Amino acid sequence: MTFNDIFKSSFLENVASISILDMAIAMILAFAIGMFIFLIYKKTYQGVMFSSSFGVTLVALTMVTTLVILAVTSNVVLSLGMVGALSIVRFRTAIKEPLDIAFLFWSIAAGIVLAAGMIPLAVFGSIVIGLFLLVFVNRKSHLMPYIIVLNCEGHDAEVKASEYIKNKTQKMVVKSKSAQKGNLEINYEVRLKEDNTDFINELADMSGVNSAVLVSYNGEYMG
């Protein structure tokens, strides 16, 4: 071992392992793809309150993943240490919407593929995923199931209201029925023929019908 080997710095050797141009291109593309993911998330969001911080997180996650993978691909030893370091990280934030998980994995996957140098795959794959989400998430609302909560006075009013609902909807299924003296409550799962819901107003005005409520339904909650 020579005198120069003693003071030789492996840190300085890694400075030039990735060129400035490669880093700039990777980070700019990561930001662009992250913004695209954020826009798709904003267009397809169906929750009650939109969280802008989650959208910013998607952009940051794409860029951070790109940064990490750039470092890993330039040094095999560093990649092993990175795996060990990331294995002890635990995230406690609850994911409220199942679709949010898809956006998180999309951001991570885009960052990995982009940092690996597969730019066409990252761009084309993101476009395909974005179009897929726009088509299937933003379907017409009348194709989604709804629940009609009907409260009426007796059997005759129930038959009349049921026939009216059947004529105004594409599909009708009785989900539950509760009967008391002089009072019936029936829950119908329906598919609307169109986006217009004015028939609920007419249904509530029918004789023998006390109330009629229309709520959206996805199989897990009503609201």
The 3-state secondary structure of the chain reads CCHHHHCCCHHHHCCCCCCHHHHHHHHHHHHHHHHHHHHHHHHHCCCCCCCHHHHHHHHHHHHHHHHHHHHHHHCHHHHHHHHHHHCCCCCCCCCCCHHHHHHHHHHHHHHHHHHCCCHHHHHHHHHHHHHHHHHHHCCCHHHCEEEEEEEECCHHHHHHHHHHHHHHEEEEEEEEEEEECCEEEEEEEEEECCCCCCHHHHHHCCCCEEEEEEEEECCCCEC
pTM (global) more than 0.75: no
CATH number at residue 200: 3.30.70.260
Say if 150 falls within a structural domain. Answer: yes
**pLDDT at position 107, please?**
92
Are residues 65 and 145 located together in one domain of the fold? Answer: no
Q: In this structure, are 126 and 153 located in the same domain?
A: no
Residue 196 is assigned to a structural domain of this protein: yes
pLDDT tens digits for range 27-48: 999 999 999 999 999 888 876 6
> How many domains are there within the chain?
2
Q: Which domain holds residue 108?
A: 3-137
Q: What is the mean pLDDT of residues 183-200?
A: 85
The answer to whether residue 222 is domain-embedded is no
Whether residue 221 lies inside any domain: the answer is: no
Residues 172 and 91 in one domain: no
In sequence order, the 6+-apart residues with CB closer than 8 A to the CB of 195 are 140, 141, 142
**45 and 124 co-located in one domain:** yes
Whether residue 162 sits in one domain with residue 96: no
- Whether residues 78 and 10 share a domain: the answer is yes
Are residue 124 and residue 198 in the same domain, yes or no?
A: no
The answer on pLDDT for 49 being more than 90 is: no
Among residues 137, 154, 170, the one where a domain terminates is 137
Asked if the model's pLDDT at residue 214 lies above 80, the reply is: yes
Q: In percent, how much of the chain has pLDDT > 70?
A: 74
For residue range 106-142, list pLDDT tens digits in order: 998 999 898 888 889 999 999 999 999 888 887 665 5
Same domain for 58 and 24: yes
pLDDT at 223: 43
38-47, 87-96, 158-167: least confident range: 87-96
Instruction: For residue 180, give both structure tokens.
Output: 């008391």
Per-residue pLDDT, 20: 82
Is the pLDDT confidence value at 1 over 90? Answer: no
Return the exposure string of 103-122: e unless at least 16 CB atoms fall within 10 Å of the residue's CB, then b.
Answer: bbebbbbbbbbbbbeeeeeb
In a domain, 172, yes or no: yes
